[in-house]
Structure 1
Amino acid sequence: MTKEYDVIIIGAGPGGMTAALYAARANLKVLMLDRGPYGGQMNNTDAIDNYPGFSEIKGPELAEKMYQTAKKFEPDFEYGDVQSVTVDGNLKTVTTDIESYTAPAVIIATGSDHKKLGVPGEEEYSGRGVSYCAVCDAAFFKGDDIAVIGGGDSAIEEGFYLAQLAKSVTVVHRRDQLRAQPTLQKMAFANDKMNFVWNAQTEEIVGDENRVTGVKYKDKETGEEKILKVGGVFIYVGTVPQTKPFEHLGILDDHGWVKTNEAMETSVPGIFALGDVRAKELRQISNAVGDGSIAGQGAYKYLQELRVK
């Protein structure tokens, strides 16, 4: 039989767990669904030093603390890879590869994923010199030579951020010019700490048994293979929203991000979205938590309005 809830939260990262906390605290019957362990990308982060209340904390430890805080109010947690969400009047059905669940309110907290280069060494050295977030990890590379792979706005903006702490930042780009907006390009070329390698096809991230030591790339003009010696590699070749199960709901923009207002409401009544699954500038634990509190409270208000009707 299909299991019934008041609120189903798809995704148990920091935003999803916060939404569960607020909704369950309002005495709602809440389900958190995730295809993996609760905590999301925090579980892949060695140390977090920019979340208020902790000078530094291990990612899995923070995930556990958030989960235990939410569990105090007794939401359910189930594993499942969501295949679809369907709407029938006020009722939504969430179908996973294992089970189906129904609720009047659904909160989408599936997040986004960084596009991968797909080269040898990228996965092996993730968390050991390979990063996708300068704001998260720049402090761990203070005084190092760093490579930034990419040439768009994000790559250059993050390069500026890294240059505050790094010895040098070398932008490795596969084309002969940047794709970033002209103002950013002008600032980048004027920054003494920023260098550029053009027409460079990244082939491998190399390192020793402990961490990254360099980037192997091919000069697309000469065919010559070279190694750039660096202590860290930051990859910015785009992000992908995890929204495939929601494509038919009419709540996505042209790039696949969920569209919401400031109350985290989508265009479908009773469906909310939060965190990195929304189009936004800054993707951090702190603003995912903020979104989660708004969405959790919003779900409560939505259900109250339904009951009045």
Structure 2
Amino acid sequence: MLDATLKAQLKAYLVHVRQPVELVASLDDDAKSNDTWELLNEIAELHPDVSAVRADDDQRRPSFLIRRVGTEVGVRFAGIPLGHEFTSLVLALLQVGGHPPKLSEEVLTAIRELPGDYSFETYFSLTCQNCPDLVQALNTMSVINPRIRHISIEGGLFREEIEARQIMSVPAVYLNGEPFAQGRMDVEQILAKLDTGAEARAAEKIAAKEPFDVLVVGGGPAGAAAAIYAARKGIHTGVVTERFGGQVLDTMAIENFISVQHTEGPKLVAQLEAHVAEYGVDVMALQRAQALVPSRSPGGLHELYLASGATLKARTVILSTGARWRSLGVPGEDAYRNKGVTYCPHCDGPLFKGKRVAVIGGGNSGVEAAIDLAGIVAHVTLLEFGDQLRADAVLQRKLRSLPNVTVLLNAQTTEVEGDGNKVTGLTYKDRTTGVVHSMGLEGVFVQIGLIPNTDWLRDTVALSTCGEIEVDQHGRTSVAGIFAAGDATTTPFKQIVIAMGEGSKASLAAFDHLIRLPAAGEAVAA
């Protein structure tokens, strides 16, 4: 199961195991069970305190429990956690084996003090880059608090459960048998959902903070770069963000980040987060900006109002709120979101194995999605609004070489159809003839670009007709002391490397603005 490289890496990690660990397998006689048993024995051979045993129980098969010997501490995997979930397997082995998780004492205490009993089930796919964070978070919580139980289930292997629960998007989490959450989450987000008083306590702490010299709104590449450049100047810097990393977290492969030949979004975000933390930046996560009130005088304080009820003050503000997936805006899209309508082919593609799907959008993202899906599903129909595809020529050639792909040009999607529970088809209008067509299918993958997260700024700074924040060559907005960078701005070409550069530039401009402000008590010329 494991090649020599993975074995060597795993053996190096397992030196951190401090307490005996037992891998308890629930198996049948099928091929997947045999593969699972082979994997567990390979792991056990790498450390003297790790052993593999079979169990005769009523658990899902194949599955295995990673258990701290002599205790109730353990986590369970149903399926074989390789691919993106290999890291989850490694961390589970280490944490069950006594290696402490990297969480603050405040978070650890909150997990331990959660009242009641919790039984979590998480459905994942091996190609999902969003799933590991959630799997690892719940695994960690179950190790810390034995009243929390967690099992991670490979959706591609347990298809009967996927069909029965009508799961069409991963990660999908159930708590005590009921739907709990959908999509990427970390420990803090799960705690906030379980502990209804957490948001109020966080808002109280935030409201008590001293004014910042530079307050960055948004934690994507632009925001991270801005925070680092500001903190390096030795000034009081804060970042407020709903989720650190932004859209990069949803990016599968990154091959155009200069000097790095290949990386993945979550890995890059982890590196950005570590770099920001190195400079002691005050990062306030899980916070959504709601309104910005600019200072009325030079050198005054701008006020940022958060959805949690807290207010932050800063001498300068850098807006790096990024963008989100653009929606079709047609009937049925919202009703069937995560019920057949999805925006991540890498995450959810395996759930549509052998089915018919549509991809909306003929740019690079749409064509890449169609190519990836063609290797999984029965048939892909790609619908492009314009009269030609906009993707790179090499991608178009690959797409047209695939036998189970149909390309429709001048196709305007008009409605997503369903039976009340899941997608059953869509309708589109041929823009050359005006004729409306209907097609039966089970999945709709929307890939029509991004829209800036600037709705809340419409009465604050100047925006373009597309809703982008207008900036000059220094990243300055229409309001003195407020700067902007990244995908939310009018800067052309939405790329990670460009966002980082723009964030750095905006931060330097903010610092230049600060040093030119009148000192406290100094008269301002009329």
State the TM-score, normalized to the length of structure 1.
0.74
Q: Summarize the alignment of residues 176-255 of structure 1 with structure 2, pairs less than 5 Å apart.
A: 196=409, 198=411, 201=414, 203=416, 216-218=425-427, 220=429, 225-226=438-439, 235-236=447-448, 239-255=450-466
Q: Summarize the alignment of residues 264-279 of structure 1 with structure 2, pairs less than 5 Å apart.
A: 264-279=475-490
1:26 to 233, 236, 245: 233
2:279 to 51, 73, 85: 73
Contact residue 219 and residue 245 of structure 2 kept, 8 A: yes
The one-letter code of the counterpart of 1:96 is L
Contact residue 386 and residue 410 of structure 2 kept, 8 A: no
- For 2:284, what is the secondary structure of its paired residue? strand
Contact residue 143 and residue 165 of structure 1 kept, 8 A: no
1:158 to 377, 391, 403: 391
Residue of structure 1 equivalent to 2:346: 127
Distance 2:382 2:266 in 1: 26
Contact residue 249 and residue 266 of structure 2 kept, 8 A: yes
Residue 232 of structure 2 corresponds to residue 48 of structure 1? no
Distance 1:303 1:150 in 2: 48
Residue by residue over 1:186-227, the C-alpha shift from the partner in whole angstroms, topping out at 9 and shown as x without a partner, is: xxxxxxx9752646546369xxxxxxxxx9433557765325
Residue by residue over 1:148-197, the C-alpha shift from the partner in whole angstroms, topping out at 9 and shown as x without a partner, is: 544259x843375731543369xxxxxxxxxxxxxxxxxxxxxxx97526
Contact residue 45 and residue 127 of structure 1 kept, 8 A: no
Residue 91 of structure 2 corresponds to residue 91 of structure 1? no
- For 1:275, what is the secondary structure of its paired residue? coil
Contact residue 148 and residue 235 of structure 1 kept, 8 A: no
121-130 or 253-262, which moves further after superposition?
A: 121-130
Residue by residue over 1:53-87, the C-alpha shift from the partner in whole angstroms, topping out at 9 and shown as x without a partner, is: 33322211110101111221111100311111112
Distance 2:344 2:304 in 1: 36
Distance 2:268 2:362 in 1: 18
Contact residue 477 and residue 483 of structure 2 kept, 8 A: yes
Distance 1:124 1:57 in 2: 21
- 1:143 Cα offset (Å): 11
Distance 2:237 2:361 in 1: 32
Q: What runs of 5+ residues in structure 1 fail to find an aligned partner? A: 170-192, 206-214
The one-letter code of the counterpart of 1:283 is K
Contact residue 248 and residue 269 of structure 2 kept, 8 A: yes
Contact residue 323 and residue 452 of structure 2 kept, 8 A: yes
- 1:302 Cα offset (Å): 1.0
Distance 1:258 1:152, change over 3 A: farther
158-167 or 251-260, which moves further after superposition?
A: 158-167
Distance 1:287 1:125, change over 3 A: closer
- 1:13 Cα offset (Å): 0.5
80-89 or 22-31, which moves further after superposition?
A: 80-89
Residue of structure 1 equivalent to 2:218: 11
Residue of structure 1 equivalent to 2:266: 60
Residue of structure 2 equivalent to 1:115: 326
- 1:49 Cα offset (Å): 2.3
Contact residue 215 and residue 318 of structure 2 kept, 8 A: yes
Residue of structure 2 equivalent to 1:167: 400
- For 1:57, what is the secondary structure of its paired residue? coil
Distance 2:304 2:292 in 1: 5
Distance 1:82 1:161, change over 3 A: farther
Q: Flag the structure with larger Rg.
A: 2
- 1:8 Cα offset (Å): 0.4
Distance 2:468 2:413 in 1: 30
Contact residue 13 and residue 42 of structure 1 kept, 8 A: yes
Distance 1:136 1:69, change over 3 A: farther
Distance 1:292 1:282 in 2: 14
Residue of structure 1 equivalent to 2:185: none
State the TM-score, normalized to the length of structure 2.
0.46
- 1:285 Cα offset (Å): 1.0
Residue of structure 1 equivalent to 2:70: none
C-alpha RMSD of the superposition: 3.7
Distance 1:203 1:12, change over 3 A: same
Distance 1:93 1:269 in 2: 14
Distance 2:344 2:500 in 1: 28
The one-letter code of the counterpart of 1:226 is M
- For 1:43, what is the secondary structure of its paired residue? helix
Distance 2:477 2:229 in 1: 19
Distance 1:137 1:71 in 2: 35
Residue by residue over 1:3-22, the C-alpha shift from the partner in whole angstroms, topping out at 9 and shown as x without a partner, is: 31100000001110010010
Residue 289 of structure 2 corresponds to residue 82 of structure 1? yes
Length, aligned pairs only: 275
86-95 or 134-143, which moves further after superposition?
A: 134-143
Residue of structure 2 equivalent to 1:173: none
23-32 or 42-51, which moves further after superposition?
A: 42-51
